[in-house]
């Protein structure tokens, strides 16, 4: 079985607390949900159910560092679509769709959302474009019927839901699917011998224009600082009399 | 002179930093209090590739050069607060792995290096004795050849990793009358009959690194476990000690950097008398001194490693590096405590532990006095 | 006349009220809007939707839609949008709408904006404000094209008034036999609770990892929630540790709530969690660590051991 894992390079969400990073420039990492997807693909392979794991990403050469991290985790080969434009989820889905059709994987596993954009759209849009089944916000994956179907547990607002989908399909990962392994130095060494193929949209034969434009970004207004209370009695009194919420 | 790291080195160092900060900082205060060795953290380091950094790839290591290795250890010291864990890793690398790499037979290397590289085997050495510390070569442990074994008798003290080691490089004399030329090194596996790893020793600092006394009472060691040749032990020890002196405080440079950053943050946040204490010159001056120390130590460390990588003689540089970093580390820790005031004295703030850990650096791998003697003699005095 | 189509969510018995909040945005956008429900045996649900000022309640009712299978639902939504000439398709953010609407967007060749919290109109074009980076920033975006799909953050829009004259209920016909067959529903947890819905409750009491285990979590967090007639929430850490089920999780990738009163027990205040509670009117934080980031956001902060404090708090509230 061939697994395709699309992943995105995002600014490190833990930047303030990452120790060991040298000065200044904002660090980029593999989107945490995509890292979970890569980890799941690796575990599926370790179970003997997959033979090849291909990582794909869209971006400028600066994202090669994240590609090497994915290869160091154990992805077999990687493809970077060279495009440094600000793309919206629909543009990403339209580009990835062409590559997926070309690579013809049995399953695509990817993060449910990117932690910088928080849109949670690409996987579902891909499934729509390809007319493939989808399983979103998945916390467990099992392959059945000689890997023609997958049984997936989904995390929904009402609790856990179990569905079965025919393959090939799109699966998006949620937090509790697994805990990704850290990149080891032996993995890093091995990764240096793995290949990164670079393609342009032209070479893929796809021309897309993002339909969404970000006009501006801003910080939300800070909540006014509150007060400390010293006892339960004081808290209850303030909630009752000051906040009038009890 | 190119002071920049290559892309590959930077990638490796960043991976070390990420790994250490996320995986190695659990329960450090409790483990230090109880003197507990973190087996899980050791194993993670082994899986990650730390212990085998320098080991040639054909024996399961990563074949990295000395400069990349010390930089990795520096980054490890920056990102990992458990100085005891790092002390154990260092003992393992310099006292067990290096002698095997340089003096091991093919069979010995094949047998032990893969496990030592991935951390499944823990190594150390047994050199010091109750009556021989600085005067190492006056050791009294004997090794008598009997048929196809050597029989060891004696007692060793300050054996780092002793309680958990799978393999110790034990130094004993086959002929006391030959002085240093009688000293030989032996690979002794744990639970060898006649080998008794006795009580765990409690220390002031690096308490998460286990240490014990080890007694040998008619301990039989197969002759194929002689490391190097009979009488070659002193040379072997000196060579591995030179590595140790140059490299063992690489992680201390990282620790100092971390302390420096902690102090800067604290000095900016802590306000007294209506302003940040960092604005007081007496506080700022200490931080400036810390910065100077970090920079000079780092430069000495890298220079030593560069010379080593280029196979130049480093006996002098190793002693200078060890002496200078240990002095600076202790001073940085003292300054860090002072800058933090009362909080610097509190266990919770993890500043006092750094000083307790640092003091040992003026004692192990040759005391500061010994390093000065070495440097003096290398200067022709 | 551009029409909006609002996807309404239900649980087979009744409408999920937070999903109605998208109607408020549809009203703000101006023009006519229709409400869309999918499922099976929807008469009662359809009837409950006639007073929200829509031009029609569109009902796709068929056994093939008994379960919310993404491929079938998205196909029907896209078809309904096309047939009715709808240019804006909206829903309130939920795992239901997030599963379906992006797929429908792709079928409609339309871009989509997730978690709209406000709109602005300038020179005849509309821009949408949405949270990014776990809510630590906002982005103002505009979209081009003939159609667009939006999800709205329920807590950012008021519940719509149901005081309009009743509108017609229109049955939407489609070819059920040609619907996709790639997804099969197997099972769903059904947990009945007497407590209010987390996203609708006036009071939410939430717990973090210091609650230690499921029993303690239920006793303290549940106990306090019950004393206040509120709902229970949890941090990711608490859910990961098995103290609470996933649907209690509040935060960047869980639920976003904005109750009158949010009480955080043993929660340090990771950015990802704060993203889910920022718009609560009153936030109370109880934590042993005086430096916990949550105290910077809390209206009232009490430093101390929650295991000691919460029973006292429950007692104090019950006494009054």
What's the CA gap between B155 and B139, in Å, rounded?
10
Any A CB within 8 A of C229 CB:
no
CA distances from A83 to A60, A80, A202 (A): 6, 9, 10
| pTM for the structure as a whole | 0.87
Beta carbons within 8 Å of A236's beta carbon, 6+ residues apart: A246, C313, C316, C317, C320
Chain A interface residues (partner B, CB cutoff 8 A): 17-21, 65, 68-69, 72, 182-186, 188-189, 192
pLDDT of residue A17: 40
Residues written for chain B = 381
Q: Give me the helices (H) in chain C, please.
A: 21-29, 43-47, 70-84, 95-107, 214-217, 223-228, 236-240, 271-274, 306-319
The predicted complex's ipTM stands at 0.93
Of C107, C236, C316, the CB nearest to A233: C316
Residues C148 and C214 in one domain: no
**Is residue C194 domain-resident?**
no
* Backbone angles phi and psi of C161, in degrees to 5: -75, 145
CA distances from C280 to A223, B73, B144, C196 (A): 10, 47, 80, 16
pLDDT higher than threshold 80 for residue A12:
yes
Residues C8 and C123 in one domain: yes
**Is residue C196 domain-resident?**
no
User: What CATH number did the domain enclosing C267 receive?
Assistant: 3.40.50.1220
Residues C224 and C165 in one domain: no
Determine which of B3, B10, B46, B48 to mutate to test the interface with A (most A C-beta atoms within 10 Å).
Answer: B48
Pairing of strands B211-222, B149-160: antiparallel
| pLDDT band at residue A23 using 50, 70 and 90 as cut-offs | very low
**Is residue C187 domain-resident?**
no
Q: Do residue A183 and residue B18 have CB atoms under 8 angstroms apart?
A: yes
Residues C34 and C143 in one domain: yes
> Angle B354-B358-B363 (CA atoms, 0-180°, nearest 5)?
160
**Is residue C231 domain-resident?**
yes
CATH architecture of A2-217: 3-Layer(aba) Sandwich (3.40)
User: What CATH number did the domain enclosing C48 receive?
Assistant: 3.40.50.620
Min Cα separation A190/chain C (Å): 33
The larger pLDDT score, comparing residue B351 to residue C291, is at: B351
* Cβ C265 vs Cβ C207: under 8 Å: yes
Q: Do residue A21 and residue B14 have CB atoms under 8 angstroms apart?
A: yes
Chains C and B touch (3+ CB pairs under 8 A): no
Q: Do residue C228 and residue A246 have CB atoms under 8 angstroms apart?
A: yes
What's the CA gap between A121 and C111, in Å, rounded?
10
Q: Do residue A124 and residue C99 have CB atoms under 8 angstroms apart?
A: yes
* Cβ C264 vs Cβ C248: under 8 Å: no
What's the CA gap between C46 and B282, in Å, rounded?
76
Measured between CA atoms, the residue of chain A closest to residue B12 is A185
**Is residue C188 domain-resident?**
no
Give the mean model confidence (pLDDT) for residues B90-114. 97
What's the CA gap between B149 and A27, in Å, rounded?
57
CATH code of the domain occupying B249-378: 1.20.140.10
Residues C25 and C125 in one domain: yes
Question: Of B244, B317, B352, B354, which is the active-site residue?
Answer: B244
What domain range is C284 assigned to?
Answer: 203-319
Of A7-16, A150-159, B139-148, least confident by mean pLDDT is A7-16
Residues of A in contact with B21 (CB under 8 A): 17-20
Residues of B in contact with A183 (CB under 8 A): 15, 18-19
Chains A and C touch (3+ CB pairs under 8 A): yes
For chain C, list the contacting chains (3+ Cβ pairs, <8 Å).
A
| Beta-strand runs (E) in chain B | 123-126, 142-146, 149-160, 167-173, 183-189, 195-200, 211-222, 226-227, 271-272, 275-276
| pLDDT band at residue A19 using 50, 70 and 90 as cut-offs | very low
Structural domain count, chain C: 2
Residues C172 and C209 in one domain: no
Structure tokens at B334: 């003292």
**Is residue C184 domain-resident?**
no
**Is residue C153 domain-resident?**
yes
Domain limits of chain B? 7-122, 124-232, 249-378
Tokens 């700022």, residue located: B284
Of A66-70, A225-229, B330-334, C241-245, least confident by mean pLDDT is A225-229
| pLDDT band at residue B216 using 50, 70 and 90 as cut-offs | very high
Residues C42 and C162 in one domain: yes
User: In a 3-state reduction of DSSP, which class is residue B155?
Assistant: strand
What's the CA gap between B378 and B372, in Å, rounded?
10
What's the CA gap between A221 and C109, in Å, rounded?
35
Residues of B in contact with A184 (CB under 8 A): 15, 19, 47-49
Residues C7 and C123 in one domain: yes
Residues C123 and C208 in one domain: no
Q: Do residue C103 and residue A127 have CB atoms under 8 angstroms apart?
A: yes
Of C95, C114, C133, the CB nearest to A116: C133
Any A CB within 8 A of B265 CB:
no
Any A CB within 8 A of C250 CB:
no
Known active-site residue B244: yes
Maximal CA-CA distance, chain B: 79
Of B12, B13, B48, the CB nearest to A182: B48
Determine whether domain B124-232 maps to CATH 2.40.10.340. Answer: no
Determine which of A22, A70, A185, A191 to mutate to test the interface with B (most B C-beta atoms within 10 Å).
Answer: A185
pLDDT of residue A20: 34
- 320 residues of chain C, pLDDT tens digit each: 458 999 999 999 999 999 999 999 999 999 999 999 999 999 999 999 999 999 999 999 999 999 999 999 999 999 999 999 999 999 999 999 999 999 999 999 999 999 999 999 888 899 999 999 988 899 999 999 999 999 999 999 999 999 999 999 999 999 999 999 999 999 998 777 889 989 889 999 999 999 999 999 999 999 999 999 999 999 999 999 999 999 999 998 889 999 999 999 999 999 899 999 999 999 999 999 988 999 999 999 999 999 999 999 999 998 87
Determine which of A15, A19, A27, A67 to mutate to test the interface with B (most B C-beta atoms within 10 Å).
Answer: A19
Residues C95 and C153 in one domain: yes
Any A CB within 8 A of B22 CB:
yes
- How many inter-chain contacts (A to B, CB under 8 Å) are there? 55
For chain B, list the contacting chains (3+ Cβ pairs, <8 Å).
A
The larger pLDDT score, comparing residue B333 to residue C279, is at: B333
Query: What is the fold, at CATH topology level, of the domain defined by B7-122?
Result: Butyryl-Coa Dehydrogenase, subunit A; domain 1 (1.10.540)
pLDDT higher than threshold 70 for residue B106:
yes
């Amino acid at each position: 079985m061939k697994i395709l894992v699309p992943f995105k390079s995002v600014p490190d969400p833990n930047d303030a607390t990452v120790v060991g990073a040298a000065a200044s420039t904002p660090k980029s990492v593999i989107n945490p949900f995509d890292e979970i997807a890569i980890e799941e693909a690796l575990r599926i392979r370790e179970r003997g159910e997959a033979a090849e794991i291909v990582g794909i990403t869209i971006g400028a050469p600066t994202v090669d560092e994240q590609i090497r991290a994915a290869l160091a985790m154990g992805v077999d080969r990687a493809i970077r679509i060279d495009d440094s434009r600000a793309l919206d989820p629909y543009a990403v889905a339209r580009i990835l769709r062409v590559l997926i059709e070309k690579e013809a994987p049995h399953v695509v596993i990817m993060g449910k959302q990117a932690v910088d954009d928080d849109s949670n759209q690409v996987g579902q849009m891909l499934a729509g474009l390809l007319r493939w089944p989808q399983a979103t916000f998945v916390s467990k994956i099992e392959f059945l019927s000689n890997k023609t179907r997958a049984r997936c547990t989904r995390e929904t607002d009402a609790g856990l839901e179990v569905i079965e989908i025919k393959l090939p399909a799109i699966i998006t990962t949620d937090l509790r699917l697994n805990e990704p392994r850290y990149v080891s130095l032996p993995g890093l060494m091995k990764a240096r011998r793995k290949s990164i193929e670079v393609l342009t949209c032209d070479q893929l034969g796809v021309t897309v224009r993002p339909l969404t434009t970000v006009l501006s970004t801003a910080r939300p207004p800070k909540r006014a600082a509150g007060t400390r209370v010293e006892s339960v009695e004081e808290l209850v009194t303030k909630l009752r009399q000051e906040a009038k919420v009890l | 002179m190119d002071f920049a790291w290559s892309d590959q080195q930077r990638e490796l160092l960043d991976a070390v930093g990420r790994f250490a900060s996320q995986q190695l900082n659990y329960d450090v205060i409790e483990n230090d209090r109880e003197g507990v060795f973190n087996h899980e953290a050791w194993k993670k380091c082994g899986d990650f590739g730390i212990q085998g950094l320098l080991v040639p790839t054909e024996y399961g290591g990563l074949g990295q050069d000395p400069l990349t290795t010390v930089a990795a250890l520096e980054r490890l010291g920056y990102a990992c607060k458990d100085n005891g864990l790092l002390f154990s890793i260092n003992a393992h690398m310099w006292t067990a792995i290096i002698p095997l790499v340089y003096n091991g037979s093919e069979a010995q290397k094949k047998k032990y290096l893969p496990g030592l590289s991935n951390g499944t085997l823990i190594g150390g050495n047994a050199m010091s004795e109750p009556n021989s510390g600085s005067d190492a070569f006056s050791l009294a442990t004997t090794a008598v050849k009997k048929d196809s074994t050597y029989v060891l008798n004696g007692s060793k003290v300050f054996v780092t990793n002793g309680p958990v080691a799978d393999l110790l490089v034990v130094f004993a004399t086959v002929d006391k009358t030959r002085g240093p030329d009688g000293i030989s090194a032996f690979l002794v596996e744990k639970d060898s009959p006649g080998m008794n790893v006795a009580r765990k020793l409690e220390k002031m600092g690096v308490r998460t690194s286990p240490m014990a006394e080890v007694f040998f009472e008619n301990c039989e060691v197969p002759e194929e476990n002689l490391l190097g040749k009979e009488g070659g032990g002193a040379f072997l020890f000196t060579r591995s000690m030179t590595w140790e002196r140059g490299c063992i405080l690489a992680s201390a440079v990282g620790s100092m950097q971390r302390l420096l950053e902690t102090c800067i943050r604290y000095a900016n946040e802590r306000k007294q008398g209506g302003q940040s204490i960092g604005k007081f010159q007496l506080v700022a001056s200490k931080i400036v001194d810390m910065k100077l120390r970090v920079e000079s130590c780092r430069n000495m460390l890298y220079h030593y490693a560069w010379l080593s990588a280029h196979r130049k003689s480093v006996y002098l540089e190793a002693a200078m590096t060890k002496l200078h970093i240990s002095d600076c580390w202790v001073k940085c820790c003292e300054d860090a405590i002072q800058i933090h005031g009362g909080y610097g004295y509190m266990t919770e703030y993890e500043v006092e532990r750094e000083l307790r850990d640092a003091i040992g650096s003026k004692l192990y791998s040759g005391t500061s006095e010994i390093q000065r003697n070495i440097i003096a003699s290398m200067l022709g005095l | 006349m551009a029409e909006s189509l609002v996807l309404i969510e239900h649980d087979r018995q009744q409408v999920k009220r937070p999903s109605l909040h998208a109607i408020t945005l549809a009203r703000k956008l101006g023009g006519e809007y229709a409400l869309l429900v999918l499922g099976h045996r929807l008469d009662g649900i359809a009837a409950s939707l006639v007073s929200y000022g829509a031009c029609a309640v569109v009902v796709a009712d068929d056994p093939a839609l008994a379960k919310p299978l993404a491929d079938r639902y998205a196909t029907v939504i896209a078809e309904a949008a096309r047939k009715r000439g709808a240019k804006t398709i909206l829903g309130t953010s939920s795992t239901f709408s997030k599963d379906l609407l992006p797929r429908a967007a792709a079928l409609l060749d339309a871009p989509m904006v997730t978690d709209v919290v406000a709109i602005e109109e300038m020179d005849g074009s509309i821009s949408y404000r949405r949270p990014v980076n776990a809510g630590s920033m906002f982005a103002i975006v505009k979209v081009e094209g003939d159609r667009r799909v939006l999800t709205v953050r329920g807590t950012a829009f008021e519940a719509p008034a149901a005081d309009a004259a009743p509108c017609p209920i229109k049955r939407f016909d489609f070819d059920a036999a040609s619907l996709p067959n790639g997804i099969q529903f197997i099972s769903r947890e059904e947990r009945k609770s007497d407590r209010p819905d987390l996203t609708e409750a006036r009071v939410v009491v939430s717990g973090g990892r210091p609650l230690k285990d499921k029993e303690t979590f239920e006793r303290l967090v549940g106990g306090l929630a019950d004393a206040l007639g509120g709902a229970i929430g949890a941090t990711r850490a608490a859910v990961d540790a098995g103290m609470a089920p996933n649907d209690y999780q509040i935060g960047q990738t869980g639920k976003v709530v904005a109750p009158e009163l949010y009480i955080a027990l043993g929660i340090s205040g990771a950015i990802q969690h704060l993203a889910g509670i920022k718009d609560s009117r009153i936030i109370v934080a109880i934590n042993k660590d005086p430096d916990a980031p949550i105290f910077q956001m809390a209206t009232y902060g009490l430093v101390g051991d929650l295991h000691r404090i919460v029973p006292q708090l429950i007692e104090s509230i019950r006494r009054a």
